[in-house]
Structure 1
Amino acid sequence: MKKIIIAIDGFSSTGKSTLAKQLAKQLGYVYVDTGAMYRAVAFFAMQHHYVSEDHLDKNKLVDSLPDLHLHFEFNPELGFAEMFLNGKNVETEIRTLEVSRLVSKVAEISEVRSKLVEQQQQMGKHKAIVMDGRDIGTVVFPNAELKIFMTASPETRAQRRYDELVEKGQRVTFQDVLQNVNERDYIDTHREDSPLVKASDAIEVDNSVLTKKEQFQLVLNLVNDKVMA
């Protein structure tokens, strides 16, 4: 059975990471959450006061990139790899609404994207990898054997994100989350460098009314078609 690269792109809060983790576990593949990498850079920028809702010091952030080291470490208790920033586990810190509000602004910076894309491409040199993000099928792995583009209505995605944050004990309102979803959609699809677009050979999956189990089975069938071809 041949090894392939599975690229999963799509809008925020469409469940890309959940699906990618399921596939990686089922196939014995490496899973890479590129969104976590951009979130970690945004968190780093927040810590150093390079970015806020009304401020972005692009030059200082770019100058600091050589000192920014990212890596994943697998957590057997959780069943997935967690994000480490300069040797510290930041998996919890990067999932807040505050980081969500700023991550697209940081991800627009070409130098940030170049640094992370280079790392991501190295991770996929030996295939057998599932990677999710915004530009995996268009920029990181344009020759990936299987490309999935995930979408759902903004309201559906905001509700999922809201439920997730509340479950983690964060105090948020649905309207704030919906506004964040819409703002991220706009930034992701309108940035000059690697905007979020569906690759011409990607298969679109609208999971607005799909259960996680239905979605997983649908995409697993697509994977099996590729690895058995």
Structure 2
Amino acid sequence: MQKITIAIDGFSSTGKSTVAKQLAKHLGYVYVDTGAMYRAVTLFTMQQGFIDETHFDVNGLVEKLGDIHITFKFNPTLGFAEVYLNGVNVEKEIRTLEVSSYVSKVAAIPEVRYQLVKQQQQMGKDKGVVMDGRDIGTVVFPYAELKLFMTASAEKRAKRRYEELIERGDEVHYEDVLRNVQERDYIDSNREDSPLVQADDAVAIDNSDLTLEAQFTKILNLVEMTFEGLE
């Protein structure tokens, strides 16, 4: 069967990674979490002292981009690939609310996006890939055979993110998570370089009131329709 590229874009905490992992496993495709790549760069930026609540040394980060090496290593116990930053597993560290509070600012830097987009395009050059992020269908793979755009209300997304962080053992408040979601929405949608927008040929999926099972069934039908259209 001919392989395709599936591009999944959308707002933060819309479950892009969850459905992308499901699809990749079902189809036997490679899954790439581009959001994790930007989170890894953000963690590096924090570790180097280039960003905090009062300042952001963009030039310092840009000069160090050559020192950032991001890889994915499949963990058979977990059933998905974990993120490694310069050889160190940072899967847990990049999912904190602190990283979330800075990632949109780091991702808005053109030089950062240029470097990561090049890597992402290389990862998907042979098709058979499911990739999620903010600009996959518009910039990374504008000719993807199937494009999805995930959305849900800010309140629903904040609630999901809050419960995820609490379950992980993080001490957070719902109001802080909601504020973070809203701030990221604004920055992602209003940045000059590759803003978050729905591609003209993307299918919108509002999962505010969808169960994971219903969502997967709906998207799998779209995948099957895409394959049929190629025959």
Letter in 1 for 2:41: V
> Would you say the 8 A contact 1:37–1:70 is kept in 2?
yes
The 2-side partners of 1:72 and 1:53 are apart by 29
TM-aligned CA deviation for residue 169 of structure 1: 0.3
CA distance in structure 2 between the partners assigned to 1:177 and 1:36 by the alignment: 18
Q: CA RMSD in A?
A: 0.5
Q: Which amino acid aligns with 1:163?
A: E
Partner of 2:169: 169
How big is the shift at 1:110?
0.2
Quote the offset at 1:228 in angstroms: 2.8
For each residue in 1:70-123, what CA deviation from the matched residue of structure 2 results, as whole angstroms up to 9, or x when unmatched?
Answer: 110000001100000000000000000000000001001000000000000000
Partner of 2:24: 24
- Deviation digits for residues 22-48 of structure 1, max 9, x if unmatched? 000000000000000000000000000
Task: Give the secondary structure class of the aligned counterpart of 1:22.
Answer: helix
* Aligned counterparts of 1:84 and 1:118: Cα–Cα separation in 2: 18
Q: Amino acid of the residue matched to residue 173 of structure 2?
A: T
Aligned residue pairs total 229
TM alignment of 1:24-173, pairs within 5 A? 24-173=24-173
- Pairing of 1:143-222 with structure 2 (within 5 A): 143-222=143-222
Matched to 1:94, the amino acid is I
SS of the equivalent of 2:104 reads helix
- Equivalent residues of 1:53, 1:101 under 8 A apart: no
SS in 2 for 1:56: coil
SS class of match (1:51): coil
Question: Which 4+ runs in 1 deviate beyond 3 A?
Answer: none
1:53 Cα deviation after fit: 2.2
Aligned AA (2:9): D
Find the aligned partners of 2:132 and 2:53 in 1 and give their Cα distance: 26
State the one-letter code of the partner of 2:99.
V
**Structure 1 residues without counterparts, runs of 5 or longer:** none
CA deviation string 1:187-207 (max 9, x = no partner): 000000000000000000000
Displacement of 1:210 after TM fit?
0.1
In the aligned structure 2, how far is the partner of 1:130 from the partner of 1:47? 30
Conserved? CA contact 1:4–1:145, under 8 Å:
yes
Q: Please say if residues 11 and 134 of structure 1, whose CA atoms lie closer than 8 Å, have aligned partners that are also in contact.
A: yes
SS at match of 1:228: helix
